[in-house]
A and B are shown apart, each in its own frame.
Chain A
Amino acid sequence: MKSLPITIDGVSKAYGTYVALDDVSLDIQAGEFLTLLGPSGSGKTTLLMALAGFVRPDSGKLLLGDRDITRLAPNKRDIGIVFQNYALFPHMNVLANVAYPLALRKTPRAEARQRALATLARVKLDGLAERNVAALSGGQRQRVALARAIVFEPRVMLMDEPLSALDKNLRETMQYEIRRLHDDLGITTIYVTHDQREALIMSDRIAVMNSGRIQQIDTPQRIYDRPSTRFVAEFMGEANIVAPGSVRRIDGAEASRETLMIRAESFHLDTKLVGGDGVALEGILRAKAFRGENWLLTLALDGGQEVLVCIPAALAGGCAELAAGQRMTAYAPAAKVHAIPGATA
């Protein structure tokens, strides 16, 4: 199967005065797994629906390969979609649901049946072909929806928060399975989610969206470690945005003059674990909480700002003995201290 690159060029969409998409441009490579990540109302689903053809942009262009699909009807785009609520046809059984796109393409009955069964086996639903859709569990419905979206070998696959209705354990299993399916098929995939962990686990690249704009587009690691804006830093995990004055270099050299982002889990309590070019933050312990795999300490810096410090339970020998109100210092290695130009603490 040959998958295609996607080009989104200056796409805008407004509903009255509400701007859902604000001049969004994005290039997705053939075979890439790209995630649109953002809070609700950030425009990620609107962008996905514009690609699918269910939202007509006010301006801009959408290209599938070299082909301009901006004005193409949804049923001519050849895009597989997995909907948030699965959108399985309740009046058809599992096999009929999966064979539906083939039936539309006038595939001979026997061949359609055989291909649908093969696709069902691929998503591990062998033996459920004759089952009524209503008799399936959430995870099984999810797999039927996946099978139906890939059975007609579309060039591109769009997924709109497909795992949000599943419980946590099943969600994690499905994350790996969807990613493996993508790798097997090599199909260009755009995945929408508001779950940053899901985005980090699954994606080749993540586009973080907020207020109809793409804030940053990069690999999961760079998005997490090197966020370009305060919004991205805070959306991706427990981030401390620290004013330049609150930080000193361990080796006594002059500290950075920029606003810094330090993730809670980048801290150590032992200065020996951090190089001399690392930074130290001093303050008073306000609160501590045991979270199973780690301890979360809340440190009030001298300037009054509160900083979250997360210490893995395996390294947190002394944490249990710490008492609120006591003065302490947290250290972070230089590699984990990231300057965010233009941000204020």
Chain B
Amino acid sequence: MTVTVDPALAADARRERRFFLSLSLPALFIVGLAAILPILWIIRQSFLTTGGEYTVGNYAKVLSSGLTWSALVTTLELSLGTLAICILLGTPLALALASARPRVANVLMAFVMLPLWTAILVRTYGWLVLLRRDGLINAALTGSGLTAEPLPLVYNFTGTLIGMVHYMLPLFLLPVYAAMRDIDPNLIRAAASMGATLGQVMRTVIMPLSAGGIFSGSVIVLIYSIGFFITPAVLGGGKVNPLSTRIERTLSTFQDWGSASVLGILLLVLMALIGVMLLAARRLLAQNTVDAPHA
């Protein structure tokens, strides 16, 4: 059976669709202007000498430099380290928040969110005060006799990691908490009534059902930490040099726009690779959740 379509009604439907699409135009315009154009500019820049002639020399110079590769390794170490700590600390915390009574959860959530309301620079210098050789933490440690010498907590990898985790944890927590809060408590009760221990409930019910949230949180943490600059610059004390600080150094010290652009493109490629890997991981995850868990 076919239905004859009234052209006037069809036109109405088209006009409606066009109207709603047009609502996204301002956003599309801004994204185009603020993201796509600079990227194109950076790509062009990476093929130019300081004199303005076309060259692939920038790529040869940057990719053959040991500093680039060590910066790449540092970037990956910082990002994955931050992510790992966020997952280890954030997942149980999200579970505790999600299972707390709403009022308690709201108060705890406010504490978790507090760092987000503070400027990043202020927070980073705050950590400096805490972590220095003569800072609060080392004073407490040596004062109480727990350690003889002050621990090297800042101007190194450890300090950078602490600062980055502090920044990323709330960003990781939010989607994980949202996913866990949406789990019907009766599912956990049902699992327990059928004989599941706490560990089995975690493995077979809570983790699979919050996997989406953990995935989103991980994506956010990785996106933020791959290009993170201020924390490594302040808390790394010049010894922790991921790609972001290399770019800054290349620009401020050598005014080498070509090489800096190549490094920027390297960051982009890294981000794309990680994105592809995460998508593949999610595919695998989705395929494996239907089968009965053998706990």
Contacts and interface: CB of A to CB of B under 8 A. Distances in A.
B284 interface: no
Interface in A74-131: 74-81, 83-85, 87, 89-93, 95-96, 99-101, 103-105, 109, 112
Interface residues of B, number: 24
Contact of A109 (B184, B191, B294, B295): B294
B193 A81 contact: yes
B295 A103 contact: yes
A85 B189 contact: no
Nearest to B205: A89
Nearest to B209: A91
A227 to B, nearest CB: 34
A135 B13 CA distance: 31
A96 B294 CA distance: 10
Given A85-B184, A100-B204, A75 B293 contact: no
B273 interface: no
B192 A87 contact: no
Contact of B290 (A77, A87, A93, A105): A93
A89 B189 contact: no
A79 B193 contact: yes
Interface in A230-261: none
B197 A75 contact: yes
A54 B184 CA distance: 14
A103 B190 contact: no
A331 interface: no
Contacts of A75: 192-197
B190 A91 contact: no
Interface string B184-215: 10110111111111001000110011000000
Interface string B33-66: 0000000000000000000000000000000000
Interface in B271-295: 289-295
Interface string A54-83: 100000000000000000011111111101
B193 A100 contact: no
Residue among B290, B292, B294, B295 having the largest count of chain A Cβ atoms under 10 Å: B292
B203 to A, nearest CB: 11
A96 B291 CA distance: 6
B290 A89 contact: no
A48 to B, nearest CB: 11
A120 to B, nearest CB: 13
Contacts of A103: 292-295
A112 B292 CA distance: 10
Given A93-B290, A100-B293, A83 B197 contact: no
A93 to B, nearest CB: 5
B292 A78 contact: no
Contacts of B205: 89
A90 B294 contact: no
A92 B189 CA distance: 16
A95 B292 contact: yes
Interface string B2-24: 00000000000000000000000
A148 interface: yes
Contact of A91 (B189, B192, B200, B208): B208
12 contacts: A53-B193, A75-B195, A80-B193, A83-B186, A83-B190, A87-B190, A89-B190, A91-B290, A100-B191, A100-B292, A109-B294, A148-B194
Given A81-B189, A83-B190, A132-B290, 17 more contacts: A52-B189, A54-B189, A54-B192, A74-B193, A75-B192, A75-B195, A77-B193, A81-B190, A83-B186, A85-B184, A89-B205, A100-B191, A103-B292, A104-B195, A148-B190, A148-B194, A152-B195
Interface of B: 184, 186-187, 189-197, 200, 204-205, 208-209, 289-295
